[in-house]
Chains A and B, each alone.
Chain A
Amino acid sequence: MAYNTKILKRDKKYDIIPNQYYNPDADQYEVVQGKNGGLNVALMGSYATITTAPVAGAKTVSTTAAELFAGASRLSGRYAMMVYNEGTTPVYWGGSSSVTTSTGFPLLPGDSVTFNFNPSVATPIYFIGTANTSVRVVELA
């Protein structure tokens, strides 16, 4: 059956109750409840779901500031990137190519960081180190 074949619930004065939703499992309208002045809401799904194959890779952070990503170029439409420092020296990151080891945010050996992105906005993240340092990177889109 469909929602447009069902009858909305009414209160004891026979007025239609506001805030109802169609429950396809029960095949009927049901009243939305709430508390603290708000309606209960169930979040269904999210934009943050994998739609293309993730890309993972081993990369080298060098003494030259450069954009970091997992593959041969930045994954288009990515919403997340995780970086794990598997080296023995800290690496430093920032949103500008002018990041230095003195200004960047550190990622210590054995530590990891997760970046969340707006998939529709291409945002490079730059890394630099005091020496060549191995990191692992994964990007999700």
Chain B
Amino acid sequence: MMTYSIEIKKQGDYLYKAVVKVLEGEDVLLEGETLVGCETEQQAYDYAEKVFLPDLRRNYPREIGNLELPIDSIPDPEPQEVIPDDTVPV
């Protein structure tokens, strides 16, 4: 089963380096890193998990296409019924 790790390293004021690894067992399938400018370490982590990792999965489908991420379990918003506005003349 594929897993991933995210390591956040503070690089300076409001600058973090996110190092992500996608693993199968102990084998590193893909490793990437990026610089993130944000206020907190948690924001950098969220960026790595919700933006950077999904992009990596999209760009390396053969290597890590089966990686499951938390954003996959977020359901699509249910379609809402559109109520006609009677106040607008046709």
Contact surface of A with B, Cβ cutoff 8 Å = 57-60, 62, 64-67, 69-73, 96-99, 124, 126, 132
Contacts and interface: CB of A to CB of B under 8 A. Distances in A.
A62 B50 CA distance: 10
Contacts of B31: 72
Contacts of B8: none
B34 A67 contact: yes
A60 B35 contact: no
B21 to A, nearest CB: 10
B65 interface: no
Interface residues of B, number: 24
Contacts of B33: 72-73
Interface in B6-52: 14-15, 30-38, 43-44, 46-47, 50-52
B51 A64 contact: yes
B55 interface: yes
Interface of B: 14-15, 30-38, 43-44, 46-47, 50-52, 54-56, 58-60
B51 to A, nearest CB: 5
Contacts of A126: 35, 37
B55 A66 contact: no
A58 B32 CA distance: 15
Given A64-B43, A73-B32, A97-B14, A57 B55 contact: yes
Nearest to A97: B37
Contacts of B50: 62
A72 B56 contact: yes
| In the A-B complex, the 4 residue pairs with the closest CB atoms | A97-B37, A72-B32, A65-B37, A67-B35
8 contacts: A62-B47, A64-B37, A64-B47, A72-B31, A72-B33, A72-B56, A96-B37, A132-B51
Contacts of A67: 34-36
Contacts of A132: 51
A119 to B, nearest CB: 19
B35 A72 contact: no
